[in-house]
Structure 1
Amino acid sequence: MHHLLRTFVLLMLAGLLAACASTTSSTSPDAATDATTNAGDPAPSAEPQDKDLPKASLDADTLYNLLLGEIASRRGQIDLAATLLGKVAQDTRDPRVAERAALAGLYARRFSEALESARLWVELRPKSVEARMTLGAILLELERAAEARAHFDAILKLAPSDQLDHAYMRTVSVLARHAKRNAALEIMESLTQQHPRSPVAQFALSHLAVRSGELDKGLSAINRALALKSDWEEAALFKARILVSQKDLVRAEKFYESFLASHPDSVTMRINYARHLIDLKHWDQARAQFERVVRSSPADPEAVYALGLLSMQTGRNADAEKYLRQAVEMRPDNHTARLYLGQLAENSKRYEEAGQWYQSVSHGDSYLESQARYAVMLAKQGKIDQARAHLHKVPAEGEKQRVQLLLAEEQILRDAKRHAEAFELLTAALGRMPQNNELRYARALTAEKLGHLKVAETDLKDVLKRDPKHAHALNALGYTLADRTNRYAEAKDYLDRALALRPDDPFILDSMGWLMFRLGKNDEAVRYLRQALTKRSDAEIAAHLGEVLWVTGRRDEAKEIWNKALRETPDNDALLDVIKKFKP
């Protein structure tokens, strides 16, 4: 049988040998080239491929091993391919086979075999950057850093002056993959000394230092790069990233401002600065930056869209509509912009227009939310049955979407004060999806409204059993116990846990303030409640703070807080109830 297979293989070789030996397979060994070059890199300059190829004829065993090695490669048996092609490379001294054997060995992590093939490849192609890059990578894996450095040195010396930058970046891509990061960083530091005036060399060193966790070294290197090339936007962006990684947000902001003052036309830098300001929740400053971007690039749909969102965030609704409309005109498939335009129209009570925007979202990630909002909007107009019927017609795929539609229907019933129906809806849904935390949390809130405190407590504890860090459930349970029972110690335990998870959450701060009031600790209550109202202007928080101030004798201040809240939300039940209680 073996004899027949061997005969068959030899008959095939006549037609396949040239292709096998001179082409590159599309299978796994060539992925090994990722270890030595980037996909987008231009091809390295090649040495002459034919004049020094071996002239000796190939015997049957060599041909057999060559073909089996190629077949193994194509079948993903890379370790076998590395062994067979390595043997052929040594027998034939063909640099093409040595290349394939070295890359196969590197990919298969058979570094000792790969080393022999790579050394042969370098011996036969001493000026090949690709060969030396591969050999350097293998030596690094074998922890022979000094030998690896010699080959990376040679690569830089071989590179023509117009390809030096490319050589540095390719070298750092290899070093970055090495597990021994300190050794790789030492090599890169020595390589940059060959060309101390090269900004790209310093840029490459900075990248490797950051990847190795050496942020200070990375910052020093990128500073040197910018000193050599002050208008280099990519280097400036990387410096800003380092400063943010160091949590030095003040320096990062100052650097952005300084660079943009010197290079006001740097659009990419300005966009990144705006995003940095968004991360800091400096909405007005971020909006100002995007305004400048839009003035310089009015046809940029992403910048126009971002400006629309920031205008909406900062309460500039007229500007938000203008920019979001432009964003839709530029990119009609921007369904999220359509959703926001619907919200803006709805908030202005332009319900017909809002409905048109919501209904124009026919698919995509915003589809379900748009349909849910359309239904809630119908309910606001008193069309509750129509709203629920609309939700029932919306197709849902999977539990997540079904829950989203159920919660929208529950909100419609809750806003209409039809709490008993909302409770029945959620109870029926939990019969089908008993483990769903969103539904159980929603039912707990509805149960509390109906005075079913045992159900509310049981549901919230059930949520916390599955998700002990559910901050909203911790807050709801703590507040319910503080407001509706005298189990204050338990309430404080839940609220302490909630605050530990979300120390700046205004609703949790409000709950803690209300608990302090119930405990008679009025000064602490005012402190928590003021902090909550500062973070979010909310009618119920204002109702609580006003009540505490009223009972402690600061009635003018209480009236001022209530009146401001009334102007913003004149129909809030909690606010109206507390005002009626103290100002009948």
Structure 2
Amino acid sequence: MMNIRFFVPFFLCTCLSGFGNVAFAQENIVVPKILSAGDSLLIKELYFQGIQQKSSGQLAAAEKTFDKLTLLQPDNDAVHFELARIYFEKEDYWAAENAARKAADLNPDNEWYWVMLLDIYKKTANTKRMPLILDELIRLNPTKASNYYDKAYALYLDEQYEASLATFDTIVGRFGATDGQHITKYQIYMAQGDREAAKKELELLISKKPKESNGYIMLAELYTDDKDTKKAMALLDKAAALFPNDPLILLAKSDTYLAMGKQKQAYDYLHQAFLNKELDIDAKAGILYTAVGDHKRPIATKSLTDLADLLAETYPMEVKAHAVKGDIYMQIQQLEQARLAYLKAIDINRYIDGVWQQLLQLELQMGRYDDVEEHGIEALALFQNHPLMLFFTGHGFLGNKNYPQARTYMEAALNNADEEHTPLLAQLYSSLGDIYNALAMHAESDVAYEEAIALDSTNAYALNNYAYYLALRKERLSHAVEMSKKSNELEPNNASYADTYAWVLFQQGQYKEALVWIEKAIKYAGEASDTLLEHYGDILAKSGNINEAVVQWKKARTISESVGKDIDKLAKKINGKQYID
């Protein structure tokens, strides 16, 4: 369940560069003076003008100055390097790479040029290029161990596992063996699928570092994954005797017991770990999130809720503890308990927008639209013009069929949304399509749906609703058919989408095909709604089966009466034994 991988790759701990981050802060690089006595006064003036402009933050001006210099002196490597730094700062990594490559080609013995290229490839995750650049850095500085570690890790990321292992052999030969190398080799062997070699590396680690718990825990995890739980437990018992207060051993034991199907013992060790003060709130929260999403070794729901409750009891004034408790209860669909936990978190600190968002989303899921309206307005008083708060609050009003207010909030959400946040924009336009349709603003509704689909062509919800409303208006039916068909392809077995497709086909007069799809919709629904049954009757009537149509209309009438809907039209169909548009 836990899959405890708490260690960091050894290269990350050892390398001075900290692989994955920019190795050197670009502004702190001291660039060797390259301008020579033979350079013209104009060249020198322009170069130092560009440096001054860059230092004062005038990047656009500096870029123009250095561009002018490349025309006057195209073989000036220092100028290309300065341009690379400017492009890097602007996050134009393609241009930065080209400029840095020119600088390195002109002067391959300048270490900083290769470092610049390495930084660019780290930012762009270009693992293919990294080892080549590191070879150049090793050539220039063969005694710098971090370059070898970075190369080994770059090869590992590029899945060149044998080359990565060979580089580690080089490291051992040049700089001597270290205990941490066993962990890195273990990772490489695991990536290769060579579990036996991985185990041997951990056994070597334990033999060299018998007073550190990492090796025991990692090896036990391997045994557990291989279903050798007896060996795993024996190893963990030995580790527990050596490290009686280590909470990670408790977690590992819990994981092993889960693998054995022993829920009670698994919970007991988890409970002990949660009582251990050496495990902080973040670690405990992480364990809960991992556990609730672990389908391979699921923990009992009662155990999850008990641990979530324990977290909140242990940290009664920590917002995070109650928010995590809310998340766990929400994941297992115990929605009222989740809602109470979020409310408690807000009671402790009202200024964390993420908790408000979770609360509003949950209340929408529960259909508590009055609460969404109230809490949404309350949240927006604290977080004005917050697009997600506006979106959720608008949905509260939409749920209560207060369309003018829903429109106000949704339009405000749209006006404040990030233009780059495509998923949110697509949802906003879809919702506005619904609202405008309800307000009989059909032209605006169509535009909103078109915008939603333009942003996300796989937006099945927008495709379905747009198609359905066109069908109700008997407009652009061929377009409606295409959209409805696509929504059913995107989300097959959806009763609502199948019903829409049946209704669009019905409006086109394709009654035989419509009958196939309405019967699919009823099958998918499990328990058919009054709308589905009325549509079924309508299609049957147009197909010439009026007696069966009356049967379905009567079923629809019964359901409609039970929820207080108007049944006049259904009554006319039943009494007249005919379809009425």
The letter for the 1-side match of 2:469 is I
How far residue 297 of structure 1 moved from its aligned partner, in angstroms, is 1.8
Report whether the alignment pairs 1:149 with 2:203. Answer: yes
Instruction: Give CA deviations for 1:171-219 in whole Å, capped at 9, x if unaligned.
Output: 9679979998578984973773473223244156359759989886865
Identity of matched residues, %: 10
The letter for the 2-side match of 1:377 is I
Corresponding position of 1:225: 273
Greater relative contact order (CA < 8 Å, ≥ 6 in sequence): 2
The letter for the 2-side match of 1:250 is K
- d(CA) in 2 for partners of 1:441, 1:377: 21
CA gap of 1:84–1:303, structure 2 versus 1, over 3 A, is closer
Please tell me whether the aligned partners of residues 86 and 98 of structure 1 are also in contact (alpha carbons under 8 angstroms).
Answer: yes
- The match for 2:502 among 422, 432, 444 is 444
Please tell me whether the aligned partners of residues 222 and 235 of structure 1 are also in contact (alpha carbons under 8 angstroms).
Answer: no
CA gap of 1:563–1:192, structure 2 versus 1, over 3 A, is same
- The match for 1:565 among 558, 563, 566 is 563
Instruction: Give CA deviations for 1:135-168 in whole Å, capped at 9, x if unaligned.
Output: 66678857274564233453464xxxxxx7xx83
- The match for 1:281 among 333, 336, 344 is 333
Report whether the alignment pairs 1:198 with 2:245. Answer: yes
- d(CA) in 1 for partners of 2:448, 2:239: 64
How far residue 287 of structure 1 moved from its aligned partner, in angstroms, is 1.2
- d(CA) in 2 for partners of 1:506, 1:324: 33
Superposition map of 1:129-140 within 5 A: 129-131=179-181, 133-134=183-184
- d(CA) in 2 for partners of 1:38, 1:572: 73
- The match for 1:298 among 323, 340, 350 is 350
Instruction: Give CA deviations for 1:509-566 in whole Å, capped at 9, x if unaligned.
Output: 9989x99xxxxxxxxxxxxxxxxxxxxxxxx99973885xxxxxxxxxxxxx765511
How far residue 397 of structure 1 moved from its aligned partner, in angstroms, is 2.1
Report whether the alignment pairs 1:36 with 2:10. Answer: yes
The letter for the 2-side match of 1:456 is A
Report whether the alignment pairs 1:453 with 2:511. Answer: yes
CA gap of 1:454–1:296, structure 2 versus 1, over 3 A, is same
SS of the equivalent of 1:400 reads coil
- The match for 1:117 among 143, 147, 170 is 170
The letter for the 2-side match of 1:36 is F
- d(CA) in 2 for partners of 1:313, 1:395: 22
Instruction: Give CA deviations for 1:458-507 in whole Å, capped at 9, x if unaligned.
Output: 6x4xxxxxxxxxxxx7632xx4xxxxxxxxxxxxxxx4xx4xxx8xx544
Please tell me whether the aligned partners of residues 95 and 120 of structure 1 are also in contact (alpha carbons under 8 angstroms).
Answer: no
Corresponding position of 1:367: 425
Report whether the alignment pairs 1:250 with 2:302. Answer: yes
> When the two structures are aligned, how many residues end up with a matched partner?
428
Corresponding position of 2:394: 342
Please tell me whether the aligned partners of residues 339 and 357 of structure 1 are also in contact (alpha carbons under 8 angstroms).
Answer: yes
- d(CA) in 2 for partners of 1:440, 1:205: 48
- d(CA) in 2 for partners of 1:351, 1:510: 22
Report whether the alignment pairs 1:310 with 2:310. Answer: no
- d(CA) in 1 for partners of 2:186, 2:303: 38
- d(CA) in 2 for partners of 1:332, 1:78: 46
- d(CA) in 1 for partners of 2:311, 2:571: 49
The letter for the 2-side match of 1:444 is A
Structure 1: 5+ residue runs without aligned partners? 1-32, 45-66, 158-163, 461-472, 480-494, 516-539, 548-560
Instruction: Give CA deviations for 1:409-433 in whole Å, capped at 9, x if unaligned.
Output: 444355xx54xx15xx232454699
How far residue 99 of structure 1 moved from its aligned partner, in angstroms, is 5.5
The letter for the 2-side match of 1:196 is F
How far residue 351 of structure 1 moved from its aligned partner, in angstroms, is 4.0
CA gap of 1:156–1:106, structure 2 versus 1, over 3 A, is farther
Corresponding position of 1:400: 457
Report whether the alignment pairs 1:322 with 2:377. Answer: no
CA gap of 1:314–1:398, structure 2 versus 1, over 3 A, is closer
- d(CA) in 2 for partners of 1:134, 1:239: 28
The letter for the 1-side match of 2:488 is N
- d(CA) in 1 for partners of 2:353, 2:465: 31
Corresponding position of 1:475: 520
Please tell me whether the aligned partners of residues 561 and 567 of structure 2 are also in contact (alpha carbons under 8 angstroms).
Answer: no
SS of the equivalent of 1:254 reads helix
- The match for 1:544 among 533, 550, 555 is 555
The letter for the 1-side match of 2:563 is A
The letter for the 2-side match of 1:296 is I
How far residue 289 of structure 1 moved from its aligned partner, in angstroms, is 1.3
SS of the equivalent of 1:299 reads coil
Report whether the alignment pairs 1:354 with 2:406. Answer: yes
CA gap of 1:202–1:396, structure 2 versus 1, over 3 A, is same
Instruction: Give CA deviations for 1:12-49 in whole Å, capped at 9, x if unaligned.
Output: xxxxxxxxxxxxxxxxxxxxx964366899999xxxxx
Q: Report the TM-score, using the length of structure 2 for normalisation.
A: 0.54
- d(CA) in 2 for partners of 1:114, 1:207: 37
- d(CA) in 2 for partners of 1:212, 1:38: 31
CA gap of 1:258–1:404, structure 2 versus 1, over 3 A, is closer
- d(CA) in 2 for partners of 1:43, 1:213: 43
- d(CA) in 1 for partners of 2:293, 2:530: 29
Please tell me whether the aligned partners of residues 182 and 212 of structure 1 are also in contact (alpha carbons under 8 angstroms).
Answer: yes
Corresponding position of 1:189: 236
Please tell me whether the aligned partners of residues 99 and 117 of structure 1 are also in contact (alpha carbons under 8 angstroms).
Answer: no
- d(CA) in 1 for partners of 2:557, 2:499: 29
CA gap of 1:202–1:77, structure 2 versus 1, over 3 A, is same
- d(CA) in 1 for partners of 2:14, 2:567: 60
- d(CA) in 1 for partners of 2:383, 2:369: 20
How far residue 444 of structure 1 moved from its aligned partner, in angstroms, is 1.8
- d(CA) in 2 for partners of 1:257, 1:207: 19
Instruction: Give CA deviations for 1:218-237 in whole Å, capped at 9, x if unaligned.
Output: 65654453454497535544
The letter for the 2-side match of 1:277 is Y
CA gap of 1:320–1:118, structure 2 versus 1, over 3 A, is same
How far residue 437 of structure 1 moved from its aligned partner, in angstroms, is 3.4
Instruction: Give CA deviations for 1:31-68 in whole Å, capped at 9, x if unaligned.
Output: xx964366899999xxxxxxxxxxxxxxxxxxxxxx9x
Please tell me whether the aligned partners of residues 429 and 449 of structure 2 are also in contact (alpha carbons under 8 angstroms).
Answer: no
Rg larger for: 1
How far residue 113 of structure 1 moved from its aligned partner, in angstroms, is 3.5
SS of the equivalent of 2:197 reads coil
- d(CA) in 2 for partners of 1:43, 1:171: 29
SS of the equivalent of 2:317 reads coil
